[in-house]
Amino acid sequence: MIFGLRNKMDPKMKMDPKMKMDPKMKMDALIIQTFLVVVFSVTTSSTFSQEQDPGHQFLRFRGSYGNGVVADDTRLPETWDTQTNVKWKMEVPGWGWSSPIVVGQKVFVTSVINQQNSELPKAGLYLGRGRKDPPQGVHRWMVYCFNFSNGKKIWEKEVHNGQPKFPRHPKSTYASETPTSDGERLYVLFGDLGLYCLDLDGKEVWQKKITPRETMWGYGAAASPIVHENQVIMVYDNQEASYIASYDAKTGDQNWKTERDETSTWATPFLWKNPLRSEIVVCGKKKNRSYDLMGNLLWEFDGRMSSLVIPSPLAANGLLYITSGYFQDRRKPVYAIRPGGKGDLTLQEDEKSNDYIQWYLPMAGPYNTSPIVYKNYYYTLLDRGFLTLHDARTGEEIYGRQRFRRSMTFTSSPWAYNDRVFFLDEKGRTVVIKAGEKYEEVGVNDLSELCCATPSIADGNLLIRTATQIYCITKMK
């Protein structure tokens, strides 16, 4: 009822144009306005149901809201293998860990083909640095379009051809950034190389070359782009000249570019639409930051992050979550942040919260995987096969480390629907648990192939990308 007060004025009431508001009335009005903003924020945080992708399309990494949660759908599967509940599967040439996205009746995915033999990704921890030199051979940077209904290839587009000028982590690929779409055009980022805009029929609309920079240990880039209100936004954190930039979605003209005092990170930026404003949140090793839609800094804080910052931010139930957790570090923080921050939000050494940080955990962050919030539960999937659960509103631990099968390692981020949470390991095995305060495993689904890409979900179908295939999985009648 409070939210409708502005429009509930009696139409018969008229303001005398000669009447002036005295200072006390102005102060009262300001207090009321502030009260309404606070009430709006608190009410939204406590009663607003978590944003769930409606499931008709899947337009970016982890879905339209970037959180891995989709609306319940009886067609979505709980069990599968290489034959069971497989609607179709299609081979994807080359290598890539980008997620497929779904726009209408089209599936888009990126890949890079090396015409010579080179070192291939493998499961597990490398415990070492990247490769100093790029692999030999001519590479083809590719975009593929498949029919969503039957998996048949509609078109393919080569956007670049040549030998790489920059290295990559041996477990990564040159196509690890997930493309995005506004429903009209496709935006493809091949980090260290270029940002490409195609129409949905594969015709190039515009491109922006990227000057490659040195990255930490030669790991390369991996942050995916996002699109919002005719802006395509990308982050390129590196060891030389980090920045966040926005380009006009139709023309490719640069809207703005903001330098970042950062070293290499790999987290995808997050568009946080909260009750007070829309803002672009970007994790950083030095500082976590938020920008307005013109690239101006809104807030920042020293998160005492781990040495490798990879998980992407997400929002649920009125809070923003930021984390990092390289497994060998002593800092693996998790932060839950309230809307409306301004300036420096850094916690003091002995603080666990402040005006805008609702809660903080110093040693609970994951390495590669992004967390998921589902039904007020904050799930953390640790790369070496452990799962923890916290109350998403308070940070209170519900259960500590629960171990999956031994020898399981994870890079893909989890997803959730139909009261189930799913965790895909690097050997193609998906652990399924029942959502809730008790750890209850209900099954394991095996595709028996290397998997590092995060799955996508659209219109009752689950899309899982393995090293060689895309599987379209649904509950078959």
Q: How confident is the model at residue 391 (pLDDT cuts 50, 70, 90)?
A: very high
pLDDT for the residue 210: 97
pLDDT for the residue 232: 98
Q: Which residues, other chains included, contact 1 with Cβ-Cβ below 8 Å and sequence gap of 6+?
A: none
d(CA 38, CA 32): 10
Q: Quick: pLDDT tens for 130-149.
A: 788 899 999 999 999 999 99
Alpha helices in 18-135 (DSSP H): 23-47
Question: 431: which 2 tokens?
Answer: 């652990």
β-partners of residue 248 are 231
d(CA 106, CA 104): 6
Q: Checking phi first, is residue 9 left (phi over 0); if not, alpha (psi -120 to 50) or beta?
A: beta
d(CA 133, CA 206): 30
Q: Quick: pLDDT tens for 292-309.
A: 999 999 999 999 999 999
Q: Are 424 and 412 in contact (CB under 8 A)?
A: yes
Q: With a threshold of 0.85, does the pTM exceed it? A: yes
Statement: 37-367 belongs to CATH 3.40.50.10420: no
Domain borders along the chain are 37-367
Q: Are 306 and 326 in contact (CB under 8 A)?
A: yes
Q: How confident is the model at residue 54 (pLDDT cuts 50, 70, 90)?
A: low
Q: How confident is the model at residue 115 (pLDDT cuts 50, 70, 90)?
A: confident
